[in-house]
Structure 1
Amino acid sequence: MLLDLSGVVYDGDTPIRGAVEAIALLRDAGLPIRFVSNTTRSPRQAIVVQLAGLGITIADDELLTPANAAVAWLTAHGCSPHLLVHPDLEAEFSGVPAGELKAVVVGDAAEAFDYAAMNGAFRQLVDGAEFLALATNRTFKDADGGLSLDAGAFVAALEFAAGKQAIVLGKPSRDFFHAALAGLGCGPGDAVMVGDDMESDVAGALRAGLGAGLLVRTGKYRPGDEGRFAPHPTAVVDDLEAAVEWIVRKRG
């Protein structure tokens, strides 16, 4: 089972009602879990600490983020990163070996998305650098409860200006979902994805061949989201607690 985090397990520093208990129920039922987050502001260790503060302890291999995937890609392709990411995320790339080639890496840089930074990334791209997008989400639910602009618009702007398509490393990338399933002991057709983002979480998982995609009405969900992207969700449920009830019932 694959679970999104922000908007499914927690909103900011607050657990969503019933989510902690739902995860415990999954563990008690012996169902393997992977947490798959498209967050590109928080480093991996900060996410682990945040979950621990909510009473959720996870193993190292249970969390996959786009930064993990980017570091692996850069290392495999011998590229040094030109980072356009949130300052808190930069340390995640400190161990990448220096390479002869360059790759622009774009995440949710927040206030760092100024003209100079965007133009610097653009110049690297037109000079031949590879183009990696940690994620292409349109929006995220911000701390004030409203939707805010996510990295997708900035990735699209660079694609338009440079005439180069980004390689997407996080959701909805098929490779990202399949990497998360590695070691779970089940094929994609037996896996379930639970998320609050219809486009990246649910439709992305179904296009990647997962057996079911459940859309929760928490987090960034807005009425009508289930009809905006295809494939449509296997089911729309109120929250993670209801999603787990759906999964356990189907399994039974």
Structure 2
Amino acid sequence: MLRGALIDLSGTLHIDNAVTPNAVAALEKLRQHGIKSTHQLHHRLASLGFRVKPEELFTSLSAAKQLVHSQRLNPLLFLTDSAKAEFNADRSLPLSSPTQRPYDAVVVGLSPQDFHYDKLNEAFGLLRQGAPLIAIHKARYFARPDGLALGPGGFVEALEYASGTKAQVVGKPQAEFFRLALHRLGLAGAPHAVAMVGDDVEQDLGDGAASLGLRRYLVKTGKYMPGDESRATVPLAGVHDCFADAVEAIVSCTPAPETKALGK
């Protein structure tokens, strides 16, 4: 019997500012049984009609922030302005300020405006001096209204290749990311009773989720491409046209699942 569900956001619940078919009602169908999750994507989801609380979101950015703060690092950030604000929350001094102390790490997320030679070269110099490389995730691409677009994965690998430094990936598809989400959900000891719903067969539903025994559901929205299901190394629990259809499959397994929303 399923007791919980972990849900990818971009590409699964929404694509940019467009909600996937019946996703708002489908999430509410699960939410009435209790969604837990952290901050940052709340305003966007709320503007799209999803009724979620800031503390109910758990993202790769949350995991990276936790790592950086625990090690008291001052990283050079490849992040959007809103993501930087999230990173600086609950911190007496803002991150990414070399005037306070030199950069001692590099954090790479999805920030297209930062992927230019000068900044990448600055990151390369830090890595050559021994700074750690932290990747929010290594997605190859992501979905936009005009189609698929380059993700941060290629830029992370370029820095790895040039510097000889291996990135520490904190988000999906790493098993540790899913363990943290299960812990917040209160189901760390019951991963086989938890569903994972996503549009990316590698990042959302790949080896990390499979190794923990999560029941994995692929949706044909967002970055899905025909035949993706055949690339799953461990058989999927289901393949559905959209998130709402996956929810029907989940609720048919249990009358009262708990849910958590997961970002990239």
Task: Calculate the TM-score normalised by the size of structure 1.
Answer: 0.88
Q: 2:25 aligns with which of 18, 21, 26?
A: 21
Q: Residue deviations 1:92-142, cap 9 Å, x none?
A: 222455788822101112032001111111110110101100010001112
Structure 2: distance between partners of 1:27 and 1:78:
36
Matched residue, 2:258:
none
Q: 1:160-175 alignment to 2 at 5 Å?
A: 160-175=161-176
Match of 1:250 in 2: 253
Q: Distance in 2 between matches of 1:211 and 1:128?
A: 36
Q: Which has the higher helix share?
A: 1
Letter in 1 for 2:169: V
Q: Does 1:194 align with 2:188?
A: no
| Mapped partners of 2:56, 2:164: distance in 1 | 36
- How many residue pairs end up in the alignment? 241
TM-score normalized by the length of structure 2:
0.84
**Match among 34, 47, 54 for residue 60 of structure 1:** 54
- Aligned-partner Cα distance in 2 for 1:113–1:100: 21
Structure 2 unpaired stretches of 5+: 96-100, 256-264
For residues 32-181 of structure 1, the aligned pairs below 5 Å read 32-33=34-35, 44-45=39-40, 47-95=41-89, 96=91, 102-144=104-146, 146-181=147-182
Compare relative contact order (CA 8 Å, sep 6+) and give the higher one, 1 or 2.
2
**Shift in Å, 1:77:** 1.2
Deviations 1:170-210 (A, max 9, x none): 11121211111223232222111000011000114533414
- Residues 130 and 77 of structure 1: CA distance in aligned 2, closer, same or farther (over 3 Å): same
Structure 1 residues 28-73: Cα deviation after superposition (integer angstroms, max 9, x where no partner)? 4x2x44569xxxxxxx44x211211232222333201222111111
Q: Identify which range, 128-137 or 183-192, moves more after superposition.
A: 183-192
Percent of matched pairs sharing the same residue: 38
Alpha-carbon spacing, 1:153–1:236, altered in 2? closer, same or farther (3 Å): same
C-alpha contact 1:8 1:195 (8 A) present in aligned 2: yes
Moved more, 13-22 or 87-96: 87-96
Q: CA RMSD in A?
A: 2.1
